[in-house]
Amino acid sequence: MFFPFRDDNPHTTTPFVNYGLIAACVLVFLWEVSTGERGQQGITYVFGLIPARLFGSAAPEPGLPEIAPWLTIFTSMFLHGGWMHLLGNMLYLWIFGDNLEHSLGHTRYLVFYLLCGIAAAFAQSMSAPTSEIPMVGASGAISGVLGAYLVLHPKANIRVFVFLIIITTINLPAYIVLGGWFVMQLISSAQVSAGEAGVAFLAHIGGFIAGAVLVFFFRRREVAVFQPAHSQAFAVERKPYRRGSVPDTGGTRRGPWS
């Protein structure tokens, strides 16, 4: 089991758009939480994407405000179902979004992000067009970021925590981290029905493919695809210090009262 926390790619621009997307998702979620359980449920049904409403086969929930179904494609991208859902999405956006914004430019990155979210929404919705289960989360759009990152930086090293017998960190190439993630989405999507409540795996797949294709059209001209790594792959960092041990100072060994 591993847990990514940063990559090795340098960038020279401040990712204002990426910061803004993260801030927007966090602020919207705090608003959701502040309304209580019933309020959150209402927000989900009003602003979440419901395929049956999008395609006109279901009416809005009685007693709740109504917005245009097409607009929920965008509003749903900023809603999340819980703290873990939010934190997981924001971690991946934080790690991979800054480099992609640098490679695309601020405006094109925002357009790219929204287009990937749209592609993800339709990938999931068209697989179950009569579903009345709301879809929420930035996962589809962020999947597009991951797909684009893999095209631009397949050999970039992602620093991950590895949880085996001990906890250590290791550099894993993006094609292992992101390629493995995509394969897991394919496997998981084959094991669940598209209309079931739960993780929208087809949205992840649709967003990832859209990102991998769109990046060829959105990247700046001077930005190459399939760029090399900036550090050594599979480099392992082990912490020599263990709880209860005393680091060696290299001097003469003394007793505890010296």
Q: How far apart are CA 134 and CA 73, in angstroms?
A: 11
- Domains of the chain in sequence order: 2-237 (1.20.1540.10)
What's the pLDDT at 42? 94
Task: Please count the helices (runs of H) and the strands (runs of E) in the chain.
Answer: 9, 4
The DSSP bridge partners found for residue 158 are 7, 172
Question: What's the confidence (pLDDT) of residue 251?
Answer: 43
**Closest Cα partner for 157 from 144, 145, 168, 169?**
169
Cβ atoms of 117 and 206 within 8 Å: the answer is: no
CA-to-CA distance for 152 and 156, rounded, in angstroms? 9
| Cβ atoms of residues 86 and 136 within 8 Å | no
Query: Is 187 buried (19+), middle (13-18) or exposed (0-12) by CB count in 10 A?
Result: exposed
The pLDDT value recorded for residue 63 is: 81
Long-range contacts (CB closer than 8 Å, 24 or more residues apart) made by 232-238:
232/157, 232/171, 233/155, 233/157, 233/171, 233/172, 233/173, 234/170, 234/171, 234/172, 235/157, 235/170, 235/171, 236/168, 236/169, 236/170, 236/171, 237/168, 237/169, 237/170, 238/166, 238/168
- Residue located via tokens 């994407």: 49
For 53-74, what is the HEC assignment? HHCCCCCCCCCCCCCCHHHHHH
Instruction: Give dist(CA 195, CA 31) in Å, integer.
Output: 28
pLDDT given at position 252? 40
HSE-CB of 222 using CA atoms within 13 angstroms: 2
Residue 150 · residue 225 · CB < 8 Å: no
- For residue 134, which of 89, 67, 182 has the smallest C-alpha distance? 67
What long-range pairs does 183-189 form, CB within 8 A, spacing at least 24? 185/143
Instruction: Walk along the chain (258 residues) and give the pLDDT tens digit of each residue.
Output: 678 989 988 888 999 999 999 999 999 999 999 999 999 999 999 999 999 999 988 887 788 888 999 999 999 999 999 999 999 999 999 999 999 999 999 999 999 999 999 999 999 999 999 999 999 999 999 999 999 999 999 999 999 988 777 778 899 999 999 999 999 999 999 888 766 777 899 999 999 999 999 999 999 999 999 999 988 888 886 554 344 444 444 444 443 333
Q: What pLDDT does 101 receive?
A: 97
| CA atoms of 221 and 241, how far apart (whole Å) | 47
The residue count of the chain comes to 258
